[in-house]
Amino acid sequence: MSTTANAAAAGSEPLLLEVDDLVQRYTMPRENLFRPAPQVLALNGVSLRLRAGNSLGVVGESGSGKSTLARAVMALETPTSGSVKLLGRDLHRLPAEELRRARRDFQMVFQDPFGSLDPRQTVVRIVAEPLTAIGRVGGAEQRARVAAVLKQVGLRDADMDKYPHEFSGGQRQRIAIARALITHPRLIVADEPVSALDVSVQAQVLNLLEDLQDEFGLSYVLISHDLAVVEYLCDEIAVMYLGRIVEQGRPEDLLNRSAHPYTRALLEAVPQARPGRVRQRRGAQVIASQAKGSTGCDYAGRCPFADAGCRAVAPVARRVGPEHYSACHHAETVMTLPPLTVEV
Ligand code: ADP
C-alpha cells in the first residue's frame, strides 16, 4: 500500500522505519507430482513508514502476514523483494557484520513468554544475551546493566539469578521486554506481546510498554489480531488482509470511520468487553483464495459490498482522509455506516 507511506512522511520527527513494496513468497510442499508446488504470497507489496517515537499497530486475522512482516522488519528472514530501511540503512543489504551491530537498534518481543525464554538459563544470561550477540560488555558491567533494565520493567536485582520457571507469565514477559531493552533500541517489534497472558495481566504489560515509550522515546511495531490492544498503544494502525495493507490510519479513524469492510468485520468480531478476540482463520484459506489468480479484490468473496467491479479490478490504496488510506472501491460508502460501538 504505497500511498500510506505518506501518512508518516508528513510528520516532523525523523523517519525511523521505511518498508517499501515488501513481497514474501513461500513455496508450499507439492500436493501432486504433476502440478507445480503451490505458492503463498505472505506479503504482497507492503509499504510502511514510521517516525521516531511513534508506534504502529498491525492487525489482521491469523494468516494475514503479520508475523512474516515482523520477521522481515527484524531481518530474520530475507524477503523475496522490497526493502526495509531502519534509520536509512537497508537491513537486507547490510554486510553480516554491520547487520549484527545494527541489531542493537531494533529488538523483538515474542508472543509466548514461556517458549521464548530458555528454561536452562538464568535471567541475567537471558537478559544480557543481545549484548553478548553484539559482542561487547562482560562481567560486572553486564550485571549492572541487567540490574538497571530489570528495575525499568518492575523486577528486582534478586531476580537475576533465578530461572524462568520461577516467574508468572506476566513477569516472564517483563523479562522478555528487559532483554529487548538492554541494547537501548530505537524500535521494538512486539508480535502478539500479550495474547498468551491472562486478561488481568495484559493491561499491566501494555501499561509497562507505554511507560517505557514515554521514558525512552521508543517506537513500537505492535502486531496483534486484537484491535483493542493496538488501539491502546499506537498512533497509527495498519490492517492486513492476505498479505496486503487494506486500511491504514489513526486509531480513531479506523474505529469511528472504518473505510474498509474488513476492518468493520474485525471490529464486529471484538466482543463488547475486553479482551477483544478476533475469530482465527487459518492459512489454508489464504492459499485457496490467492491460488484462484483473480484480478479482483482479494476480499470480494467475503465482502457484503462486493460487486462486479470489485471482482474484476483489485482496488489500490487511496487517501480517504487526512491520514487515512483504504484499498476499497466502496470506501466512502463504508465510511458513512454508523460506527460500531466497540468497548476497548
Ligand atoms: P499471521 O502472523 O498474520 O498469522 P503469517 O505471517 O504467520 O500470518 O502467515 C502468512 C501466510 O504465510 C500464511 O498463509 C502462512 O501459512 C504462510 N507462511 C508463513 N510462514 C511460512 C513459511 N515459513 N513457509 C510457508 N508458508 C508460510
Ligand 1 atom nearest residue 64's Cα = 3
Alpha-carbon gap, residue 188 to 196, rounded angstroms: 18
Pocket test for ligand 1, best of 26, 110, 222, 282 (most atoms within 8 A of CB): 26
Lowest mean pLDDT among 121-130, 175-184, 224-233: 224-233
Q: 219 pairs with which residues across the strands?
A: 187
Closest of 103, 232, 109 to residue 177, by C-alpha:
109
The letter for the amino acid at 219 is: S
Q: How many CB atoms lie within 10 A of CB 97?
A: 9
**Quick one: pLDDT at residue 277?**
36
Distance of CA 309 to the CA centre of its chain: 31
- Max Cα-Cα span within the chain: 68
**Quick one: pLDDT at residue 179?**
95
**pLDDT of 35 above 50:** yes
Report how far ligand 1's centroid is from the alpha carbon of 110 (Å): 16
> Higher confidence at residue 193 or residue 11?
193
> Rounded to whole angstroms, what are the CA distances from 59 to 306, 336, 343?
22, 22, 17
Interhelix angle 139-152/123-133, nearest 10 degrees: 110
Pocket flag, ligand 1, residue 290 (CB < 6 Å): no
Report how far ligand 1's centroid is from the alpha carbon of 333 (Å): 32
Contact present, 172 and 94 (Cβ < 8 Å): no
**Quick one: pLDDT at residue 102?**
93
Is the pTM above the cut of 0.85? yes
Determine which residue's CA is closest to atom 6 belonging to ligand 1.
65
What are the tens digits of pLDDT across the range 87-127?
A: 999 999 999 999 999 999 999 998 877 788 899 999 999 99
Report how far ligand 1's centroid is from the alpha carbon of 68 (Å): 6
Pocket flag, ligand 1, residue 65 (CB < 6 Å): yes
Contact present, 24 and 68 (Cβ < 8 Å): yes
Half-sphere exposure in the Cβ direction for 149 (13 Å, CA): 28
> Higher confidence at residue 288 or residue 265?
265
